[in-house]
Amino acid sequence: MDLTTFLIQALNGVQYGFLLFLVASGLTLIFGIMGIINLAHGAFYMLGAYITYWLIGYTGNLAIAIILGLIIMVVVGYAIERLAISFLYNRDHLHQVLLTYGMILILNELQKIFWGTDFYSVPVPDILKGGIELTETQSYPIYRLFISLVCMIVAAGLYLLISKTKLGMMIRAGATNREMTQALGIDVNQIFAIVFSLGAALAAFSGMVGSPVSSVFPGMGDSILIISFVVVVIGGIGSVKGAFVGAMIIGLADTFGTVLLPEFASVVVYAVMAMILLWRPQGLFGKA
Amino acid sequence: MSRDLFIRAFTLVFLGVIASGPFMLEAYYKELVMHMMVLGIFAMSLDLLIGFTGLVSFGHAAFFGLAGYLLAIVTPESEPISIFISLPFCLGGAALVALVIGWFSVRTSGIYFIMITLAFAQMLFYYFNENQELGGSDGIFIFNKPLVGWGDTQLLDLSNPNSLYYLIFFSLIVSYLVLRMILNAPFGKVIKGIKANEHRTQALGYNTRRYKLVAFVIAGTLAGFAGYLEAVTTGIVSPGHLHWHHSGEVMMLVILGGMGTLFGPVLGAFTLELLRDNFQDMTEHWHLFQGIFIILVVLLLPNGIASLANLFGRKKAAPQESMAVEKQSGEETPS
């Protein structure tokens, strides 16, 4: 593998890692703060991609489609939290797993009813078409760099939101000690609803910006869900920093695994996870 | 009618109906019931982990699929192989892999256990999915059903659907009885103790990790048994048998049916398969109704379908168990 190929693959790995991070950060926040194992998180990713495809048909503009789509997804996330998830806070994790599993079935089926089982592609916006030439034969698509950039901005925004704002303070407090936060007069239920819809929007956003590269297809949520869980567990549940590191590890392991060990590509990710968990059973940044 | 009487009567009717299956049912429904019984065994095996030991395995389908693949590997194309060779081979294989996976997995707990079992199952899934010699993603045919007997003597002809039906029926009952026996033995008391409070059980001097590992191996082997029966019935194994969706589905059967009851998961398997069969005829969007059904059961019947038996009075808790039961029900009351 020469240096250029290495660079291209590294960039691909980082870009994939960023997309994973957006999905996984929502997942880890929802688990860490609300104590909910949300299997339907992958379905939000899928919905994001499909909504983008659908809105682009009307607006013809990716940016507008994404903004409108995000508004839809925040509303959807909020509604799901209020109508179903909020009944499960005092229940066993297994019930949450089961309920959100039922939700996957419903959302996947609705997707089939509305959009069928075909694969769709979303066009790359004109300004972001083309690539940066690295050598005479190899170039790197601008859109992929754009994805990394946008995700980096979102990640930075998320960091600022959580570490610098009042809302972020309440979120962190709720994650550390739910009862105490409630006792201080903070409406934890309202925070839960906000975190859940924020997480849904993050996952959907990942599906939206990723859609021009990955295409839009049924079942896309299922595969990202499992990988995101791997990321969350590697990083340590509830830790956004861990989700970031985990996403980068998995993004790079998957990309380089595909190049170096094509027959075992899909196994590599899970082998990495098993090794990390054996070394640190609570994940890299998890509390023991 | 008291609860016990109801359960007894229900069980008798249930078994009677299944036993009369070959005389009453058309071929299609006979196959459906066979499939339900196999799923019932599969779900009971997971219940041993989820419902009794408190280990939520999200990779249980790995053993189900693995035993099927082992049968496909060991069965020659031209002649049948004796069930007395293939069954121990497949179960032994499943047990061995369960031992390895379990050895790693029982070191973790909670959601980490869920994820590490999932990770191992996914590794096996991809191994079979990408192994072209074993048919890749299409799966592989098993050309001959196992021979029940040795050489030329045949005790039971499995290509006759009725014989196979009764073999599976018999297996379901035996699996249930064996699990009951295990649970009533001192071993069963210890794993229930692990579920109620692992630290306390440890403090009593039990090596809980070893107990969890043994439970994991037993459950994996029994799941392998179910997978073996499924492979014998359908004559084909595919990577889908090991897919996480399959693990999720069986977990759903256990929780919907009522975990920690053994008969609950069997009930779950029958209910869900019946629903699936009926809805699939009516609509191609069966999953929509399945999803709605699951959500309704979770919200309205948190202890599963088997808890409907409580309409006939509460379970009488044994003195030494009553504290654990109280603690549990106390936790589940929404505040």
| Residues on chain B touching A113 (C-beta within 8 angstroms) | 285, 288
Structural domain boundaries, residue B147: 26-242
The answer, for A83 touching chain B at a CB cutoff of 8 Å, is: no
The answer, for B118 touching chain A at a CB cutoff of 8 Å, is: yes
Cβ neighbours of A24 (radius 10 Å): 32
Interface touch B298/A263, C-beta < 8 Å: no
DSSP annotation of A17: H
Interface touch B108/A281, C-beta < 8 Å: yes
B149: which strand partners?
A: B154
Model confidence band, residue B316 (pLDDT cutoffs 50, 70, 90): low
CA distance B332 to chain A (A): 6
Interface touch B291/A92, C-beta < 8 Å: no
Among partner residues A98, A222, A226, which is closest to B298 by beta-carbon distance?
Answer: A98
b/e per residue B183-196 (b: at least 16 CB within 10 A): beeeebebbbbbbb
Exposure of B161 in the CB half-sphere (CA atoms within 13 A)? 15
Count of all residues that appear for chain A in the document: 288
Q: Are B276 and B290 in contact (CB under 8 A)?
A: yes
Tell me, what's the pLDDT at B329?
42
A155-173 pLDDT, tens digit per residue, is 899 888 888 899 888 888 8
Please indicate, yes or no, if residue B249 is contained in any of the structural domains: no
Region B214-233: mean pLDDT is 94
Please indicate, yes or no, if residue B73 is contained in any of the structural domains: yes
A76-93 pLDDT, tens digit per residue, is 999 999 888 888 877 777
| Residues on chain B touching A87 (C-beta within 8 angstroms) | 299, 334
Model confidence band, residue B175 (pLDDT cutoffs 50, 70, 90): very high
Tell me, what's the pLDDT at A1?
67
Model confidence band, residue B223 (pLDDT cutoffs 50, 70, 90): very high
Please indicate, yes or no, if residue B96 is contained in any of the structural domains: yes
- ipTM value: 0.80
Number of separate domains in chain B: 1
Q: Comparing C-alpha atoms, which of B279, B259, B220 is closest to residue B65?
A: B220
| Residues on chain B touching A39 (C-beta within 8 angstroms) | 248
**Whether the predicted pLDDT of B297 surpasses 60:** yes
Collapsed DSSP state (helix, strand, coil) of residue A89: coil
- Report the distance separating Cα B277 and Cα B291, nearest Å: 15
The answer, for B123 touching chain A at a CB cutoff of 8 Å, is: yes
Tell me, what's the pLDDT at B21?
76
Model confidence band, residue B335 (pLDDT cutoffs 50, 70, 90): very low
Tokens of A14: 């980082």
Cβ neighbours of A262 (radius 10 Å): 9
Interface touch A270/B123, C-beta < 8 Å: yes
A96-113 pLDDT, tens digit per residue, is 888 888 898 899 888 888
Tell me, what's the pLDDT at B315?
58
Exposure of A14 in the CB half-sphere (CA atoms within 13 A)? 15
| Residues on chain A touching B112 (C-beta within 8 angstroms) | 233, 237, 277, 281-283
Residue of B nearest to A262 (CA): B130
A220-242 pLDDT, tens digit per residue, is 888 888 888 889 888 888 788 88
Please provide the average confidence, as pLDDT, over all residues in chain B: 83
B226-277 pLDDT, tens digit per residue, is 999 999 998 899 998 998 888 988 988 888 888 888 888 998 899 888 888 8
Q: Best mutation site among A37, A93, A109 for testing chain B: the one with the most B CBs within 10 Å?
A: A109
Q: Comparing C-alpha atoms, which of B175, B252, B187 is closest to residue B219?
A: B175
Collapsed DSSP state (helix, strand, coil) of residue B147: strand
**Whether the predicted pLDDT of B68 surpasses 90:** yes
At position A220, the amino acid (one-letter code) is: M
Comparing A235-239, B53-57, B183-187, which segment has the lowest mean pLDDT? A235-239
Interface touch B56/A93, C-beta < 8 Å: yes
Tell me, what's the pLDDT at B325?
42
The answer, for A108 touching chain B at a CB cutoff of 8 Å, is: yes
Interface touch B56/A94, C-beta < 8 Å: yes
**What percent of the residues of chain B are helix, what percent strand, and what percent coil, each to the nearest 5?**
75, 5, 20
- Report the distance separating Cα A251 and Cα A247, nearest Å: 6
Interface touch A94/B50, C-beta < 8 Å: yes
